């Protein structure tokens, strides 16, 4: 039952997408007091046309892309027989039914007992025919109902589906009442089936969201969470509160993000409600957008910001003593570091960074395999900053030993480019380097790139990203008080994303093929849609009572580093990916043992507390299917049982007594599923299983039978 609820909730939450705001407001009113956050969507029935007109919608509707994902779902389904074939189709069909409708997924924490497990709630106001919706729900639950793992009841006028296992640690249920569908975890009193006081506050939050921006909504009540933390931690919270006040975070009230589709783009807005005149927020000022004139016209992404480093430093350092007024450890460590560096971190370095920063990313080229990153910072005293960085380079060299090489190159005009080469990343041509040109610090990921930026800055006004009228027009839409601004070449980002995936895909395919999982051989082409993408923009700004954010773009923007990181991570993680099937089989086998344990407890209740003496007893008297007694981990040709039962135990046995376990003879990874007398299942090493079996048979007064332990 637990798996049903979690799978449904996760699938629906992660695929969240738009309806009339009044429907969402109605659902929000049903959220109980203590709801600390939610995500919501108005349903594809409402925003479908807008989505289909967007680039994401056009890609999703492409026949080649659809075929690719159908093959992918079929391949992944082979990992676990529990979610394969008709079962997988039933889950997908039901998820589609729900996603067509206004839906809210919320979390509620008990204000009187914050440490208790939170209530997880999913509510959907169905827009499809009720008979059709009910049929889809019944079809999804059919295997669970037929196996009697779930039961169907009528409670408070609702059709309710609950677990038949009274030992489930979370009380979870699905319910349908008219056009309302519910999936709830940790609601033993069935409070969501009763009519409670309407949650006017949450409905009011949704009322503020424009109809064009409710395809996806996320909300978190930060003030309520802080109150719960205070109640749970008591006096200890006063210390944390003092720190939050120093940082300007004590009056954080809520965070809200919402978005939809505008033409071919995704558009989203965010808001963090907080007073911005104190603490960390004082470090942010309007950004100098003229710096975009210095950005390479080939940049995939570019950004400018104004952040005062010394203000951040002072605010954080002033907050630290609040945790322990008598502690001088942080100050002592800073003094120790400054003695080693031979300069003052705040006064010599941070205070001489004016606060104006610019950065951009370039796509990989034959000369820059990992792509390139550029960061520049405007300086107050260039000479002091240069001296600090030279000292820092010396410290890095002395501590890096053979892994780090600190050197410099001289350009034709006599200027110095300083290089901090680190062995592992230098292999992919990422070689950090820096120099100072006038009042600007230049830091890049390769010396040749540093030289290129020096040349651009020295030459003054020239072609840049905003020479393109599309980017220039976007920049004009940004409020003058924005403290961080970003521009994205959506086409370049999408092309780089596809290149990165094309590099990773063969490795991923080969690794999984060895486990019997065949992914589609080729990725679908989306070149036609990439050509239609418009550039993207994003920004952050301060208002009197919060931080506001805005984004508009294709929804596919990724950084060069993200793609490169994906490729490197895939290479590193291939051994783990190759074990996907084995992990899934171990989970299924553990679930089988859990079923055996539940059936054994039921059996004992009917037999004066005695557990079964054989699995045949469970098949004959507890409706255990032969399929449950088959471990998916057992290899073909292995001559021996799948699971081994320890006969003679009763329900009075201690929790650490072993009731049943996987046959260790076919276990090769030293991770054996073991069922204990209290019904819980744990994964143990063979050595631990031996110890626990020894205790169990000593308790029974019997010798341990001969067991095939196989090899580790």
Tens of pLDDT, residue by residue over 525-543, are 999 999 999 999 999 999 9
CA distances from 523 to 50, 151, 526 (A): 26, 43, 9
For 169-190, write each residue's pLDDT tens digit.
557 899 988 788 999 998 888 8
The token pair at 294 is: 């210095």
Q: In this predicted structure, what is the pLDDT of residue 17?
A: 34
How confident is the model over 552-593, as pLDDT tens digits? 998 876 443 444 444 444 443 444 444 445 666 787 888 889
pLDDT digits (tens, 9 = 90+) for 622-648: 888 888 899 988 888 888 899 999 999
**pLDDT digits 0-9 by tens, 275-300:** 888 889 999 999 999 999 999 999 99
3-state DSSP assignment of residue 644: strand
How far, in Å, CA of 700 to CA of 693, rounded?
Answer: 10
- pLDDT tens track for 233-242: 665 667 777 8
DSSP output for 151-204? EEEEETTEEEEEES-TT-SS-EEEEEETTEEEEEES-TT-GGGS-----HHHHH
Residue 668 CA from chain centroid, whole number: 32
* Average pLDDT for 157-163: 88
Of 34-48, 144-158, 388-402, 573-587, which gets the smallest average pLDDT? 573-587
Question: Which H or E element spans position 60?
Answer: helix 55-60
pLDDT digits (tens, 9 = 90+) for 423-439: 777 777 788 999 999 99
Is pLDDT at 144 greater than 60 in this prediction? yes
What pLDDT score does 85 carry? 63
pLDDT of residue 419: 92
Structure-block tokens of residue 668: 């090769």
pLDDT of 18 over the 50 cut: no
Report whether pLDDT(63) > 50: yes
Residues 6+ away with beta carbon under 8 Å from 540: 482, 483, 484, 547, 548, 549
Is residue 106 a contact partner of residue 221, using CB atoms and an 8 Å limit? Answer: no
640: tokens are 């021996």
Bridge partners of residue 356, in order along the sequence: 306
475-479 long-range Cβ contacts below 8 angstroms, 24+ apart: 475/289, 475/292, 475/537, 477/537, 478/289, 478/537, 478/539, 479/539, 479/541
Q: What is the pLDDT of residue 377?
A: 95
% of the chain residues with pLDDT over 70: 87
pLDDT at position 695 over 90: yes
According to the model, what pLDDT value does residue 373 have?
A: 94
> Looking at residue 188, what is its pLDDT?
84
Q: How confident is the model at residue 104 (pLDDT cuts 50, 70, 90)?
A: very high
Q: Give the pLDDT of residue 664.
A: 93
Residue range 137-146: average pLDDT? Answer: 88
Q: Count CA within 13 A, CB hemisphere, residue 537.
A: 18
Per-residue pLDDT band for 79 (boundaries 50, 70, 90) equals low
What integer pLDDT is reported at residue 22 of this predicted model? 55
Please report the pLDDT score of residue 1 as a whole number.
37
Report percent pLDDT > 90 for the chain.
Answer: 42
Find, among 12, 47, 7, 25, the residue nearest to 181 by Cα. 12
- Residue 376: the pLDDT is 96
At residue 105, φ and ψ (nearest 5 deg) are -120, 120
Question: What is the DSSP code (8-state) at residue 279?
Answer: G
pLDDT, position 77:
62
């Amino acid at each position: 039952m637990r798996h049903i609820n979690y799978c449904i909730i996760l699938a629906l939450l992660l695929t969240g997408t738009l309806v009339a705001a009044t429907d969402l407001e109605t659902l929000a009113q049903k959220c109980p007091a203590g709801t600390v956050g939610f995500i919501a969507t108005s349903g594809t029935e409402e925003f479908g046309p807008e989505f289909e007109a967007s680039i994401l919608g056009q890609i999703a509707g492409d026949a080649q892309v659809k075929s690719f994902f159908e093959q992918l779902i079929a391949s992944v389904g082979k990992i676990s027989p529990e979610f394969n074939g008709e079962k997988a189709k039933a889950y997908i069909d039901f998820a589609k039914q729900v996603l067509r409708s206004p839906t809210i997924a919320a979390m509620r924490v008990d204000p009187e007992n914050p440490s208790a497990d939170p209530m997880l709630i999913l509510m959907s106001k169905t827009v499809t025919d009720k008979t059709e919706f009910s049929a889809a729900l019944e079809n999804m639950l059919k295997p669970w109902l037929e196996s009697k793992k779930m039961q169907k009841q009528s409670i408070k006028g609702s059709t309710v589906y609950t677990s038949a296992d009274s030992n489930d640690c979370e009380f979870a249920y699905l319910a349908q009442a008219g056009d309302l569908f519910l999936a709830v975890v940790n609601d033993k009193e069935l409070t969501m089936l009763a009519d409670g006081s309407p949650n006017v506050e949450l409905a009011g939050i949704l009322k503020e969201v424009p109809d064009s921006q409710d395809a996806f909504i996320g909300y978190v009540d930060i003030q309520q969470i802080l109150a719960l933390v205070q109640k749970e931690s008591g006096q200890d919270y006063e210390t944390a509160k003092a720190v939050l006040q120093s940082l300007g975070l004590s009056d954080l009230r809520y965070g809200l993000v919402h978005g939809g589709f505008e033409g071919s783009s995704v558009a989203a807005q965010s808001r963090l409600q907080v007073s911005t005149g104190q603490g960390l927020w004082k470090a942010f000022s309007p950004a100098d957008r003229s710096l975009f004139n210095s950005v390479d016209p080939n940049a995939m992404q570019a950004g400018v910001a104004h952040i005062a480093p010394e203000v951040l430093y002072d605010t954080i350092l002033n907050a630290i003593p609040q945790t322990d007024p008598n502690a001088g450890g942080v100050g002592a460590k800073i003094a120790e570091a400054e003695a080693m560096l031979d300069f003052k971190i705040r006064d010599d370095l941070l205070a001489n960074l004016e606060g104006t920063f610019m950065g951009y990313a370039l796509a990989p080229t034959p000369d820059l395999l990992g792509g390139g990153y550029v960061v520049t910072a405007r300086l107050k005293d260039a000479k002091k900053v240069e001296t600090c960085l030279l000292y820092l380079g010396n410290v890095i060299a002395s501590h890096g030993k053979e892994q780090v090489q600190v050197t410099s190159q001289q350009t034709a005009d006599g200027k110095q480019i300083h290089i901090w080469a680190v062995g592992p990343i230098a292999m992919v041509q990422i070689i950090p380097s820096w120099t100072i040109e006038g009042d600007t610090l230049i830091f890049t990921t390769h010396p040749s790139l540093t030289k290129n930026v020096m040349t651009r800055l020295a030459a003054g006004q020239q072609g840049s990203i905003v020479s393109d009228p599309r980017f220039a027009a976007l920049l004009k839409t940004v409020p003058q008080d924005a403290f961080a601004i970003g521009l994205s070449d959506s086409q370049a980002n999408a092309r780089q994303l596809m290149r990165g995936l094309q590099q990773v895909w063969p490795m991923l395919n080969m690794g999984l093929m060895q486990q019997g999982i065949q992914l589609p051989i080729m990725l679908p082409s989306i070149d036609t849609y990439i050509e239609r993408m418009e550039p993207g923009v994003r920004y952050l700004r301060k208002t009197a009572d919060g931080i506001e954010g805005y984004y508009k773009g294709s929804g596919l923007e990724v950084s060069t580093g993200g793609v490169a990181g994906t490729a490197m991570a895939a290479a590193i993680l291939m051994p783990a990916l190759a074990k996907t099937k084995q992990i899934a089989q171990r989970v299924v086998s553990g679930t089988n043992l859990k079923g055996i344990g539940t059936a054994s407890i039921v059996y004992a209740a009917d037999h004066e507390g005695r557990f079964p003496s054989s699995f045949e007893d469970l098949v004959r008297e507890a409706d255990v299917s032969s399929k449950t007694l088959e471990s998916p981990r057992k290899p073909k040709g292995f001559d021996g049982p799948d699971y081994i039962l320890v006969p003679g135990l009763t329900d009075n046995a201690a929790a650490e007594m072993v009731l049943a376990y996987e046959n260790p003879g076919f276990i090769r990874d030293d991770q054996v599923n073991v069922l204990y007398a209290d019904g819980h299942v744990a994964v143990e090493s063979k050595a631990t299983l031996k110890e626990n079996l020894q205790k169990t048979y000593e308790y029974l007064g019997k010798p341990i039978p001969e067991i095939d332990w196989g090899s580790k």
